[in-house]
Homo-oligomer: A and B are copies of this chain.
Amino acid sequence: EVLQSIREVNENSSVHGFIVQLPLDSIHRIDTEKVTNAVAPEKDVDGLTSINAGKLARGDLGDCFIPCTPNGCMELIRQTGWRHVLYDIDISRSCVPKCIDRLAREIGLLSNEVELYGKTKAKVHLEAIDRLRIQPDGKYVVVTGITPTPLGEGKSTTTIGLVQALGAHLNNNVFACVRQPSQGPTFGIKGGAAGGGYSQVIPMEEFNLHLTGDIHAITAANNLVAAAIDARIFHEATQSDKALFNRLVPLSGGHRTFSPVQINRLKKLGIEKSDPSTLTEEEITRFARLDIDPESITWQRVLDTNDRFLRKITIGQSPTEKGYTRTAQFDITVASEIMAVLALTSSLEDMKHRLAKMVVATSRNGEPVTTEDLGVCGALTVLMRDAIKPNLMQTLEGNPVFVHAGPFANIAHGNSSILADKIALKLVGPEGFVVTEAGFGADIGMEKFFNIKCRYSGLRPHVVVLVATVRALKMHGGGPSVTAGMPLPKEYTEENLELVEKGFCNLRKQVENTKHFGVPVVVAVNAFKTDTEAELQLICKLAKEAGAFDAVQCTHWADGGAGAVELGKAVQKAAEAPSNFRFLYDTELPVVDKIRIIAQKIYGADEIELLPEAQHKVHLYTKQGFGNLPICMAKTHLSLSHDAEKKGAPTGFVLPVRDIRASVGAGFLYPLVGTMPTIPGLPTRPCFYDIDLEPETGEVIGLF
C-alpha cells in the first residue's frame, strides 16, 4: 500500500520531491529500503526527500508524504484516505498549539503582563522588563548566513530549529526572536515566512497574516504623517501668515493657547515664549510656516500590498487641491521609518522621542522638518502604543517565540526588535538562550545587527551562527545560476567537491567578517538530501580551519529540533568561550569614513565612490547635525559587492554610493548602493490564485 502511494506521488506532476513519513511501528512491517528505492530519482530534486519514522509526536497523522517544488516552496495537494500529503501549513496545523496563556505562565510571565489575542497569540507588556530588572540576561545568539542564492539558505528555519534543539532536546530555557513578515509578498510570489518543515512558528497562517495588527498600525501612522505633510503645504500655500497662525493657534473664548507640541516647536526655533499674543510678526511667520520644499520630501506613503502601480504617482489632481500636484510614491509598509523605530526603540518614552524627531523633508532654507514640527508625533505614539508590545507565539515543539517588528533589510536594518530580545533575555535567565535572526547575509544583516541594533540596545551577543549550504557554496564556486521556480542544474544535485571548495571563499570571508566583532562563530551547514557526506564534511573542515569555533551539519527542516542537536551543543560550548565584542567603527567618525570602513573591511572593496547626490547629502546631514549616526547600507544581498552577479569573495572593486538618506528617528543614515525597489509587484499569476478559505472548517488553504 505504501509503495502504491509512492508510485502515485511519483507520477503526480505537481509534486517535485517528497519526504516519506512512516509510523514508528511500521519499521517492523515495512522494508524501508524498498520504500526508499521506490522514490523516483527525478523526485529527488532538492535534498528534501528522505524517510522518517515516528517523528510526528504531536497529532496523529499516520503515514504521510511531504512534497516540494524544486525551489523549496510547497505546493498543496489535498488527498483523502490514509495518506496525507503535508505542506508547511499542514505540518503547522498538525500540531495543536498550547494555549498561549499556558505558554506565558510556563515561561514566567505574570497574567497582568500578558494580553491575549485569541488562543495562539499574545502581546507582552513592557512592564516585564522592569519587574525582571535584576535578573541577569541569558546568552544571546544571532543567526546569520553566507551570501545566499535567490532561494535563501534557511536562516529562519535554522533559528527555529536551533531553539527547538536547545529547548526540549538539550533542556535549556530558550526563546526565538524573529521578524514579522510583510503581508505583501505572501499574496505575491513568496508565500509565508515562518521557518519551514519541522522548524516553524505556528499557527503559520496567524504568523503570516494580520498577526496582532502591528504592521497595520505602522501603515496608519506612516500615512497620517504623509497626509499631514501635503495638507500642511497646501494650507501654507493658500493662506497668509496671519490666517495660518490664527488657525494653528485658534481663538477659544477670547484667548489663544499653544498646545504642548507647539511649545516644543517654538523652543526649537529659539523662541522662549508661551503666550501666543506676545509673538512678533517675524516670530509668527517662523512658527507658522514650515516652508517645506516639496522636492526635499523623503517621507513616502506606504501599503502592505505588492502594488507596483504606486511606485511613482502624481498626487493632488482633484480640483479641491487647487493645482498643488506633485510626484510621490508608495513603499511597502515594512520600509517605513516607523517600522525601524519600532525595531530599535527601548521603551514607550524612547519611542515617543524617536517618533517626534523623524525628519520628513527640508525647509526652503535648509532646516530639517520633523514630525514634531507637523504636530503629529503624539498621534503617532498613540497609534503605536499596542504595536510596541512584543507578540508571543510558539514553535512547532512548543518553545516561546517573539514575533516583533520586521524592518526592510536594505533601506533599514533588517532585524527584529530590541524590546523582544530584552524581555526574552530576562525571561530565559542567565543559563538560557535567546536566538535571534539578522536578515540577508552576514555582510548586511549581521553588520547592522552589531553596529546599529547592539549599539542602541547595549546588548552583547555571545555567539554568531553562520548558516551555509552546499548549494550556495557551489554557486559561489562558479556553478550555474540558481533561479527561483526553475529546476536546479545537476551541479547542485551531484557531488562536486571542487565547486564547494572554490566557493568556500565566501564562507571564509563571512567568518572573517564575524571575527571583526570579536564574537565566536559556529557554522551551521544546513544539509539537503542531495548533499553528500564528503561535501558536508569538507565545508565543516574548511570552516574550522578558517577560524570558526565549530562547524556542524544540521537537518532541522526534516527532523525538527532533533536535527539541530549537534548545532545546539556547539552553540552551548561557544557561549562559554571568551568573547571580546567591539564595534567596527566609531560613530563620531565622518560619514564618508564610516562608509569606507564597512565597504573595505566587510565587503572587500578597494575604495568607495560618492556620486554627487551622495556628496551633497553628506554635507547636508553633517550640517544638520546627523553626521554622527550609524550607517545602514542599502546594498544587494546577493553579492558581497554591489553587483549581484559577482559571486564568491570579490576584491578590487570600487563601491559606488548613489545617494544617502536619513532615518533620524530610527537613528541611522542609509547610503544607497544601486537602486532599491521599495514596493514589489504582482506577477501574472500571484500566489493568491491558490489561497482560499474552507468555510465549513474556517481553514486557510493554499498558504505556504
Contacts and interface: CB of A to CB of B under 8 A. Distances in A.
A681 B378 contact: no
A237 to B, nearest CB: 12
A696 B252 CA distance: 30
A313 interface: yes
A670 B274 CA distance: 51
Interface string A230-245: 1110110001000010
A217 B183 CA distance: 11
Interface string A674-704: 0000000111111011111101101011110
Interface in A453-469: none
Given A314-B314, A682-B231, A305 B691 contact: no
B381 A693 contact: yes
A585 interface: no
A224 B317 contact: no
A319 to B, nearest CB: 8
Given A316-B309, A385-B700, A239 B693 contact: no
Contact of A379 (B226, B255, B688): B688
A271 interface: no
- With a 10 A CB-CB cut-off, give which of A212, A247, A688, A701 has the most chain B CB atoms: A688
Contact of A220 (B255, B305, B347, B352): B305
Interface string A305-331: 111111111111110110010010100
A659 B232 CA distance: 33
A656 interface: no
Interface in A1-49: 12-16
A227 interface: yes
Contacts of A257: 13-14
A15 B347 CA distance: 34
Nearest to A379: B688
B259 A689 contact: yes
A314 B311 contact: no
B228 A682 contact: yes
Nearest to A686: B228
B209 A252 contact: no
A115 B100 CA distance: 12
Nearest to A329: B318
Contacts of A682: 227-228, 231
Interface string A199-238: 0000001000110110011011001101110111011000
Nearest to A250: B685
Centre residue among A12, A247, A304, A317 by max chain B CB count within 10 A: A317
A259 B15 CA distance: 15
Contacts of A352: 693, 695
A584 to B, nearest CB: 33
Given A684-B247, A695-B349, A386 B13 contact: no
A546 interface: no
A348 B320 CA distance: 40
B119 A118 contact: no
Given A119-B115, A318-B312, A375 B695 contact: no
Which of A117, A183, A244, A375 has the most C-beta atoms of chain B within 10 angstroms of its own C-beta?
A117
A305 B224 contact: yes
B220 A304 contact: yes
Interface string A369-410: 000000110110111011000000000000000000000000
Given A115-B119, A308-B321, A695-B352, A254 B13 contact: yes
A248 B701 CA distance: 19
A262 B685 CA distance: 11
A385 to B, nearest CB: 6
Given A313-B313, A683-B247, A303 B223 contact: yes
A261 interface: yes
A262 B703 CA distance: 17
A227 B309 CA distance: 7
A260 interface: yes
Q: Determine which residue in A13, A15, A376, A382 has the highest number of CB atoms from chain B within 10 A of its CB, and name it.
A: A382
A231 B13 contact: no
18 contacts: A13-B257, A75-B252, A116-B118, A187-B224, A205-B382, A210-B386, A227-B309, A231-B683, A303-B303, A308-B320, A308-B321, A311-B321, A312-B316, A313-B315, A375-B685, A376-B686, A376-B688, A382-B692
Interface of A: 12-16, 69, 75, 115-119, 123, 183, 187, 205, 209-210, 212-213, 216-217, 219-220, 223-224, 226-228, 230-232, 234-235, 239, 244, 247-250, 252-255, 257, 259-262, 301, 303-318, 320-321, 324, 327, 329, 347-349, 352, 375-376, 378-379, 381-383, 385-386, 681-686, 688-693, 695-696, 698, 700-703
In order of increasing CB-CB distance, the 3 nearest A-B pairs are A378-B692, A13-B253, A13-B255
